[in-house]
Amino acid sequence: MSAIEVAKHTLLSAGVIMAVGTVCGVVAKKIKVPDIVLFLLAGMLLGGGVTGVINIPADSTLNQIILTFGACYILFDGGASIRFSVLKETWVTLVVIATIGVLITGGITAGTMHMFGDWFGVPAVMGMTALILGAVIASTDPAALVPIFKQVPIKDRVAQTVMSESAFNDAMGAIATSVILGIVMGGAGGEGFNLGHALYDLVFEAGVGIVVGGIAGYLACMLIAHEKYGFLREYMPLVTLMAVIGAFLSADGVHASGFMAVFVFGLMLGNKDVFGFEVEHGEQEGLEDFIMTTALILRMFIFILLGSQVDFGLLKQYWVVGLAVVLVFMFIARPLTVFLCAGLDRRAKWSKNELLFMCWTRETGVIPAALAGMIAGMKVPGYEVVGSITFMAILITILVQAPTTQWLAGKLGLLLDKK
């Protein structure tokens, strides 16, 4: 296919995604469910497994650009909506659940995969591959959670804690996956798992990501809101776009967490008043409208593309073991993680209803899908199982948990009162 034909096909796919996404957004608002649910279902109908209208391979450069930038921007949007006052109250829970919690969830999930793989005769889920699967889906995904909490009016303390967890634990999940991959593929030099090295990687990736995001955030605040140096005030939307890309690539370039960097950048920009930076009300509203519209478009592309790339053949082959693993993941691993990591935080004083709600907000999305794609590209033993069960986790958690978030919050008394 010639370059011009590829360009036309790409433009057609983009037009279809935006048109279908707009309709899904309107319908989702009418029936009061998060729009990512309908985006995912629409993608499954438009993909090669059903109609074939959209055919953008998961390993294509275009797809990787959309996933990477989209996840970064949604993560930045989530950070910008979080307030320091909330983090001061819940930081102990965040640190524990985003580090030790990921290991607990991953360990339980990996053990379940190993057990059910043995029962159902799926040898690829044995041993280290089971650990890879556990690590891949252990972290909570911000690209799925942030849009839900943007649309469902949950009390700030709970919503911002869960969104913050989804940002902070991505680094831990990615590091755990990388360490296990290194052992499986022989990259660890045959020395096996090194706890000290793994902890160093975690601290380095998260720490440098925080520093890079903090610097980028402060510079952006200064350039758009400083009384003397804010000469880019009229170009606030462009500054945010450049800073998101710059923060991610800068952190990634020194082998740190780019996702952590963009989240902290958003956190800095959203709390710029704390650092003495102010913008006029009209300008702030314009920036928020731009961010909201851009995040909506990226959500459309991310989740419609994810749906279009579902391999129904692999899902059919591994659906029994996959369903068993995902159910344990949702109803055993996540609740244990929440009650062990957050329930013991005396400073935050979480109520039972808050903990129960946090147990249910466990959507899986873009980051696990990207890790599964990387594993498939490396041809890691058992990558077919990794991919199929990862997509089952994405489909089930988004299609089951996301639509019931508002209902559960209402039952638990965690919805904000409408004024």
- What is the predicted pLDDT for the residue at 6? 83
- What is the predicted pLDDT for the residue at 120? 61
- What is the predicted pLDDT for the residue at 359? 92
Q: pLDDT digit string (tens) for 234-259? A: 888 898 999 999 999 999 899 888 88
- What is the predicted pLDDT for the residue at 319? 86
- What is the predicted pLDDT for the residue at 188? 42
Ranges in the chain, pLDDT < 70: 1, 118-127, 171, 184-195, 198, 377, 418-419
- What is the predicted pLDDT for the residue at 67? 81
**Cβ burial 333-361 (10 Å sphere, 16+ → b, else e):** bbbbbbbebbbebeebebeeebbbbbbbb
- What is the predicted pLDDT for the residue at 190? 44
Q: pLDDT digit string (tens) for 190-249? A: 455 566 776 777 788 888 989 999 999 999 999 888 878 778 888 888 989 999 999 999
Angle at 310 between CA 106 and CA 174, to 5 degrees: 30
Q: Between the CA of residue 389 and those of 113, 368, 396, 401, what are the distances in Å? A: 10, 11, 10, 17
Q: Is the pTM of this model over 0.85?
A: no
The CA distance from 1 to 6, in Å, is 7
CB distance 217 to 269 below 8 Å? yes
Residue 295: what residue type? A
- The matching CATH number, chosen from 1.20.1530.20, 3.10.20.740, 2.160.10.10, 1.10.1040.10, for 6-411 is 1.20.1530.20
**Domain coordinates in residue numbering, the chain:** 6-411
- What is the predicted pLDDT for the residue at 311? 83
Q: pLDDT digit string (tens) for 68-77? A: 888 888 888 8
Residue 79: what residue type? G
